[in-house]
């Protein structure tokens, strides 16, 4: 038997074919997620994305000798971006990217109208330009004609699922990133919807993550060659779906999900709606498993930092990867020369994450000299990503009264030993790298396969472990206290946040 798993990522989309019961990756079709970029504004070209997915499904259909063995399609994606469709089910542009800052004004207005405490108490998240409500309000104000043509909106996973089934839905985890969803009742909050004069009839139906929504439409079956018994589900927000591939345990383990962004994910029996977490802008939400919640803090840049440095260095991203491998060999042989040349690099390329989250935060580099090399800057950038994560980990440990000494990692970071060893040394934790080629897609396939009864047990993945080295831990901790934090605090002061 087979499951097709669609992972619509910020940078790339992957359509993967998994063979059960071991969830072996049999085939994958990858392509760049189509974006329309104009200055600081980025839209997703939803129609082109769908066209590419349709072609990928056609390729996977012919890759299987007996297509009757393909049982499911499941969809996961980035959160917050929304797709508007008219009564003819045609996309109404623009589909504003989740990270696009143009909706900052609407985020501030929503915060003032709803009140920070009330908003966090109901939705588990703070008002931020990333979230779906701000995009609806921006479209209503700036694209009113298009907004008034809207028949329905969905998150990106829901859009893809609607094209496959004709059913407009979203799952718990993606609904949790809209600023309009009551995470304890698992329903849309009608009071919030009425406050902003939105029409609840245009909202998607909320469904269980990984559960069957419907079978594929007859027209999709004919176009792709897939049998019409294929069921479709929404596995959810990519970070949450991906965690299934690691067997993440409640309370005792934490997931570091890396991609264009990265974050720390903890799952719990209930949300943490404390004032401390609200002030630190930690997001709560419904997890993809029933009766569990996600506690999640994210950094706006991770993989994006590598793309940026590739452009600045005028090197192909694979060449940057080779540089990292070379530096890793030097680091394991003798880390002293590398750490002695390291600069403070605060990687706020797209703003900052918790504990001081801001869309207007900028990069700061301190310590460059005429002797600094590309390698020095690259190491400093990677260390900066780790120091940012260290601050978030500190918030978790302080306010959850927990010591985090074991972190599971998925995503592009698992192919970068230098990044992983620096995580171990800077976060002072054992790093467990899950060497899955497509962890999000696999986690989504495992979730839907298990939820719909195709498998009873889930396979264990191959891992590689990185442990903190005592001497480098001390040097990096001293660097953090002596240089990184003072420069970080100075930057916040210059930006009016300190």
Facing residues of 25 across strands? 18
Residue 231, phi then psi, degrees to nearest 5: -90, 160
- Give the pLDDT of residue 252: 75
Contact between residue 274 and residue 301 where contact means Cβ atoms under 8 Å apart:
no
Contact between residue 427 and residue 390 where contact means Cβ atoms under 8 Å apart:
yes
Peptide bond before 94: cis, by omega within 30 degrees of 0?
yes
Contact between residue 189 and residue 182 where contact means Cβ atoms under 8 Å apart:
yes
pTM as predicted? 0.89
As a whole number of angstroms, the distance between CA 315 and CA 307 comes to: 10
Taking the CA atoms of residue 409, residue 411, residue 415 and residue 416 in that order, the dihedral angle to the nearest 10 degrees is -70
- Give the pLDDT of residue 498: 62
Contact between residue 477 and residue 387 where contact means Cβ atoms under 8 Å apart:
no
Q: Per-residue confidence of the chain (498 residues) as pLDDT tens digits?
A: 999 999 999 999 999 999 999 999 999 999 999 999 999 999 999 999 999 999 999 999 999 999 999 999 999 999 999 999 999 999 999 999 999 999 999 999 999 999 999 999 999 999 999 999 999 999 999 999 999 999 999 999 999 999 999 999 999 999 999 999 999 999 999 999 999 999 999 999 999 999 999 999 999 999 999 999 999 999 999 999 999 999 998 877 899 988 888 889 999 999 999 999 999 889 999 999 999 999 999 888 888 899 999 999 999 999 999 999 999 999 999 999 999 999 999 999 988 888 888 888 999 999 999 999 999 999 999 999 999 999 999 989 988 888 888 999 998 899 999 999 999 999 999 999 998 889 999 999 999 999 999 999 999 888 999 999 999 999 999 999 999 999 999 999 999 876
As a whole number of angstroms, the distance between CA 445 and CA 1 comes to: 12
As a whole number of angstroms, the distance between CA 408 and CA 31 comes to: 27
Contact between residue 242 and residue 230 where contact means Cβ atoms under 8 Å apart:
no
- Give the pLDDT of residue 86: 97
Beta 187-188 vs 181-182: how paired, if at all? Answer: antiparallel
Vertex 31, ends 28 and 37: CA angle to 5°? 160
Closest CA to 255 of 98, 423, 401, 127: 423
Facing residues of 29 across strands? 15
pLDDT over 70 for what percent of the chain?
A: 100
Residue 473 CB neighbours (<10 A): 15
Residue 96 CB neighbours (<10 A): 25
Express each pLDDT in 58-80 by its tens digit.
Answer: 999 999 999 999 999 999 999 99
Mention every residue, 6+ apart, whose C-beta is less than 8 A from residue 401.
Answer: none
Domain boundaries, the chain: 2-241
User: In the sheet where 82-85 sits, what is the strand order?
Assistant: 91-92, 82-85, 152-155
As a whole number of angstroms, the distance between CA 356 and CA 105 comes to: 18
Region of 29 (left: φ > 0; alpha: ψ -120 to 50; beta: rest) is: beta
Residue 388 CB neighbours (<10 A): 25
As a whole number of angstroms, the distance between CA 335 and CA 375 comes to: 13
As a whole number of angstroms, the distance between CA 200 and CA 188 comes to: 8
The CATH code of domain 2-241 reads: 3.30.420.40
Express each pLDDT in 125-166 by its tens digit.
Answer: 999 999 999 999 999 999 999 999 999 999 999 999 999 999
Taking the CA atoms of residue 286, residue 287, residue 290 and residue 292 in that order, the dihedral angle to the nearest 10 degrees is -80
Please give the span between the terminal C-alpha atoms of the chain, in angstroms, as a whole number.
56
- Give the pLDDT of residue 366: 96
């Amino acid at each position: 038997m087979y499951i097709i798993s669609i992972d619509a990522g910020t940078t790339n989309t992957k359509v993967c074919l998994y063979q059960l019961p071991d969830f072996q990756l049999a085939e994958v079709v990858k392509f760049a997620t189509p974006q329309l970029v104009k200055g600081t504004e980025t839209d997703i070209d939803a129609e082109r994305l769908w066209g590419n997915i349709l072609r990928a499904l056609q390729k996977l259909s012919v890759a299987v000798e007996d297509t009757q063995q393909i049982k499911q399609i499941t969809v996961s994606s980035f959160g917050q971006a929304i797709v508007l469709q008219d009564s003819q089910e045609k996309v109404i542009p623009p589909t504003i990217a989740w990270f696009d800052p143009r909706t900052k004004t609407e985020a501030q207005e929503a915060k003032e109208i709803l009140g920070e405490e009330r908003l966090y108490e109901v939705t588990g998240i703070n008002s931020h330009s990333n979230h779906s409500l701000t995009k609806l309000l921006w479209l209503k104000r700036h694209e009113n004609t298009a907004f008034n043509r809207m028949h329905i909106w969905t998150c990106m996973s829901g859009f893809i699922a609607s094209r496959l089934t004709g059913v407009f839905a979203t799952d718990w985890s993606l609904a949790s990133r809209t600023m309009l969803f009551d995470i304890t009742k698992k329903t849309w909050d009608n009071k919030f919807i009425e406050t902003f004069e939105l029409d609840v009839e245009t909202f998607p139906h909320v469904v269980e993550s990984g559960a069957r929504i419907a079978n594929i439409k007859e027209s999709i079956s004919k176009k792709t060659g897939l049998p019409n018994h294929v069921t479709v589900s929404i596995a959810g927000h990519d970070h949450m779906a991906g965690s299934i591939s690691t067997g993440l345990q409640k309370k005792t383990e934490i997931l570091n999900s890396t991609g264009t962004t990265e974050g720390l994910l903890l799952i719990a029996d209930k949300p943490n709606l404390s004032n401390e977490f609200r002030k630190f802008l930690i997001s709560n939400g419904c997890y993809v498993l029933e009766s569990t919640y996600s506690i999640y803090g994210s950094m706006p840049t991770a993989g994006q930092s590598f793309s940026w440095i590739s452009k600045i260095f005028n090197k192909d991203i694979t060449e940057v990867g080779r540089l990292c491998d070379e530096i890793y060999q030097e680091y394991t042989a003798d880390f002293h020369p590398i750490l002695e040349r390291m600069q403070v690099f605060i990687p706020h390329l797209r703003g900052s994450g918790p504990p001081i989250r801001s869309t207007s935060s900028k990069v700061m580099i301190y310590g460059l000299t005429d002797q600094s090399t590309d390698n020095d800057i690259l190491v400093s950038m990677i260390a900066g990503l780790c120091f940012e994560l260290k601050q978030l980990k500190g918030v978790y440990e302080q306010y959850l009264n927990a010591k985090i000494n074991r972190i599971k990692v998925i995503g592009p970071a698992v192919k970068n030993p230098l990044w992983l060893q620096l995580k171990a040394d800077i976060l002072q934790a054992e790093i467990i790298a899950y060497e899955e080629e497509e962890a999000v897609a696999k986690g989504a396939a495992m979730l839907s396969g298990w939820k719909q009864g195709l498998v009873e047990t889930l396979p264990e993945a191959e891992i590689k472990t990185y442990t903190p080295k005592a001497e480098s831990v001390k040097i990096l901790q001293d660097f953090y206290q002596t240089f990184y934090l003072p420069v970080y605090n100075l930057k916040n002061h210059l930006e009016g946040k300190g």
